[in-house]
Amino acid sequence: MRKMTVAEAIREALRLEMKRDERVFIMGEDVGKFGGCFGVTQGLYEEFGPERVKDTPISETAIIGSAVGAAATGMRPVPEIMFCDFLTVPMDQLVNQAAKMRYMFGGKAKIPMTVRVPVGAGMSAAAQHSQCLEAWFIHVPGLKVVMPSTPADHAGLLISSIRDDNPVMFFEHKMLYGVEGEVPDEIEPIPLGKADIKREGEDVTVIATSMMVYKSLEAAKELEKDGISIEVVDPRTLFPLDKETIFESVKKTNRVVIVHEAVKRGGVGAEIAAQIADEMFDYLDAPIKRVAALNVPIPFSPPLEKYVVPDVKDIINAVKSIAR
Amino acid sequence: MKLKKEELLHFYRKMVEIRKFETKVVELFADGMIPGFVHSYIGEEAVAVGACSNLNDDDYITSTHRGHGHLIAKGGHMDKMMAELFGKETGYCKGKGGSMHIADVDLGILGANGIVGGGFPIAAGAGLSAKMRGTNQVAVCFFGDGASNQTTFHEGINLASIWDLPVVFVCENNMYGISLSQKEHQHIKDISDRATAYGIPGVTVDGNDVIAVYEAVKEAVKRARQGEGPTLIECKTYRHRGHFEGDPTVYRSEEEVEQWKKKDPIKRFRKKLLELGTVTEDELNSIDEEVDKMVEEAVEYAKKGKFPEPEKAVEDVYTDIVEEVRE
């Protein structure tokens, strides 16, 4: 094991895949010489050259659309969209082209592309540079959606995403880029559709994604002082979703809190809650609770932003509201 | 340019294939045999045939909602096309795509497209892929005058131009974006003028003259294969039918339609061939008869095919996941 930040782990996964497979290439705004808006692709331009670490114009539709065309014709592009919020621009190429081509063509096309997307609030970037829009994409059949938390998960899941023959949305929280964690010396792919239990517990299942995994683990320490033991389940991929692991945990605790940074209304939590209610009703001893951002755009001023996004205290309160 | 007799006959045959296929489709649609939407290519045959006659099997095209002509010109099989229009499992897409999504990836046909202007960045990407893989392939992006106002027009052509990608952007200016005339939807006459904005060659040709289209695209394909980047070619043409079958076409005059029918690309080319004396009327007539037979066979193939089993609807979303069936 070695220590790596999330950004380093992503970079290492990109390096490994680019070395392993010459069809893999990176494209996006300022990903080359500049090293990426958040420095994630630093050094890759020098190592692999401008042909495989391609600086694009500020032209998100061209980035995604050309990745679709390249993927359909034998390449394995890894385009980056600088901020999740900018996904609105190439939405047609993602939703109507990338996601549906295989199906519309009767299964005769493969679109192996991985779209890397920084998400999240926490740096006063305001309403157009802070969103978590992952829920939009689980609503689109044809796309896979990955949203990891730890450095090791980012690395292993990115490798699997790049090797996957389907379009994958890979959401990275920008406030996690500097967070350190243990990464195996030999990075192995982590299969999509496998949740990970980040902390075992007995009383309440807390299903958390991305940054909220860390906040839930903090909450777990506080709750322990009050004698409440929570199990923190990180789905890691939102589609395919590892229902089995989630359901096993629910069987054990009979109580569920779902935590994500995206706004609550229509969020991934609603889908997960519906699946639990549908299939695990008999195991539930309390209503399913969701902890998520308030249903407003992300504001600029630090106290406003902090108020809107869920924090440790919100998770603690939700757990306590349903704990035995 | 001196064209060989086989080439001239190929142009003629392909245009007739499109015309007769489309004429039959119009008829079958009216009879209720074809569900959904149909956008007829009748009148624009010279564009698809002139352009695709420059391409190899492994070259790429991106097509449009009005795509049947491009597919036939690129070598698509009429029987599988017709079966797809019927929604049969024997169709190109096993009944999952229909008229607006027919594709044959093995023939480089990256699909018709239901989104106006959807193909620009995809064609750029296919060109990028060819360039990165070091092949000699080119991609031709077909689009209409309406699509030239979409953001994808700008983003796709700009990307292709800065990276010198082997792409040829072929505009079928049929004078209308659905019901809106070109005069009402853009403040220019020649869409090829827009090439200036990307520092690439732009040419306008008579889109009802198959040889004019062929020669313009030939030059552009040559440039593309030599690594000199994209070209924008505007072909002025006209659709004889409405935007879609059932379109009352209240936005244009009968007189205008009749004027354009006089410039019918197939009639004109047939006349020209006979004047040149390189072919005989008998030769052309026998092509007509062969194509009639092909179309009849395609219809038979389509009729004979089965509808897909309903549960097949859940397949082909992903390469590796079939999530659920209805209980």
How many angstroms away from the CA of A221 is the closest CA of chain B? Answer: 37
Tokens of B59: 């070259």
pLDDT per residue as tens digits for the range B129-154? 999 999 999 999 999 999 999 999 99
* pLDDT value, residue A79: 98
What does R_g of chain B's alpha carbons equal in angstroms? 19
Which residues from chain A sit within 8 angstroms of residue B103, using beta carbons?
Answer: 101, 104-105, 108-109
Q: Is the pLDDT of residue A222 over 90?
A: yes
The answer to whether position B24 is within a domain reads yes
Give the dihedral of Cα atoms A104, B296, B26, B191; nearest 10 deg: 70
The answer to whether A278 faces chain B, any CB pair under 8 Å, is: no
pLDDT per residue as tens digits for the range B245-275? 999 999 999 999 999 999 999 999 999 999 9
* pLDDT value, residue B189: 97
Banded pLDDT at B324 (limits 50, 70, 90) = confident
Domains and CATH numbers, chain A: 2-183 (3.40.50.970), 196-322 (3.40.50.920)
What does R_g of chain A's alpha carbons equal in angstroms? 19
Query: What's the mean pLDDT when you consider all of chain A?
Result: 98
Of the candidates A125, A66, A64, A129, the residue with the CA atom closest to the CA atom of residue A90 = A64
Q: Is the pLDDT of residue B327 over 80?
A: no
Q: Is the pLDDT of residue B77 over 70?
A: yes
pLDDT per residue as tens digits for the range A1-54? 999 999 999 999 999 999 999 999 999 999 999 999 999 999 999 999 999 999
The ipTM is 0.96
Q: Which residue among A92, A106, A240 sits closest to B92, beta carbon to beta carbon?
A: A106
Which residues contact residue A213 at a Cβ distance below 8 angstroms, ignoring those fewer than 6 apart?
A149, A150, A198, A232, A234
The answer to whether position B325 is within a domain reads no
Which residues contact residue A137 at a Cβ distance below 8 angstroms, ignoring those fewer than 6 apart?
A94, A143, A145, A169, A239
Q: Do B125 and A66 lie within an 8 Å CB cutoff?
A: yes
Tokens of A213: 């995994």
Q: What total of structural domains would you count in chain B?
A: 1
The answer to whether position B323 is within a domain reads no
Kindly report whether the peptide bond that precedes residue A240 is cis, defined as omega within 30 degrees of 0. yes
* pLDDT value, residue A204: 98
Window 68-97 of B, Cβ < 8 Å to A:
91-97
Which residues from chain B sit within 8 angstroms of residue A164, using beta carbons?
Answer: 320
Q: Is the pLDDT of residue A124 over 90?
A: yes
Q: Which residue among A62, A101, A141 sits closest to B124, beta carbon to beta carbon?
A: A62
Query: What's the mean pLDDT when you consider all of chain B?
Result: 97
The answer to whether A91 and A64 are in contact (CB under 8 A) is: no
Q: Is the pLDDT of residue B1 over 80?
A: no
Which residues from chain A sit within 8 angstroms of residue B121, using beta carbons?
Answer: 61-62, 64-66, 68-69, 93
Tell me the C-alpha distance between A14 and A170, whole Å: 13
Banded pLDDT at A83 (limits 50, 70, 90) = very high
The answer to whether B18 and B47 are in contact (CB under 8 A) is: no
pLDDT per residue as tens digits for the range A277-315? 999 999 999 999 999 999 999 999 999 999 999 999 999
The answer to whether A317 and A133 are in contact (CB under 8 A) is: no
The answer to whether A112 and A164 are in contact (CB under 8 A) is: yes
Q: What value does the mean pLDDT take over residues A230-234?
A: 98
Tokens of A125: 């970037």
Of the candidates A249, A214, A247, A212, the residue with the CA atom closest to the CA atom of residue A230 = A249
Tokens of A183: 């990464």
Percent of chain B with pLDDT over 90: 98
pLDDT per residue as tens digits for the range A136-191? 999 999 999 999 999 999 999 999 999 999 999 999 999 999 999 999 999 999 99
The answer to whether B312 faces chain A, any CB pair under 8 Å, is: no
CATH number of the domain enclosing B184:
3.40.50.970
The answer to whether B116 faces chain A, any CB pair under 8 Å, is: no
How many angstroms away from the CA of A95 is the closest CA of chain B? Answer: 11
Provide the domain limits for residue B46: 5-314
Q: What value does the mean pLDDT take over residues A249-258?
A: 98
- Among positive and negative, which fits the CA dihedral A59, A62, A68, A70? negative
The answer to whether B139 faces chain A, any CB pair under 8 Å, is: yes
Catalytic residue list of A = 129
Chain A with chain B: Cβ pairs closer than 8 A: 147
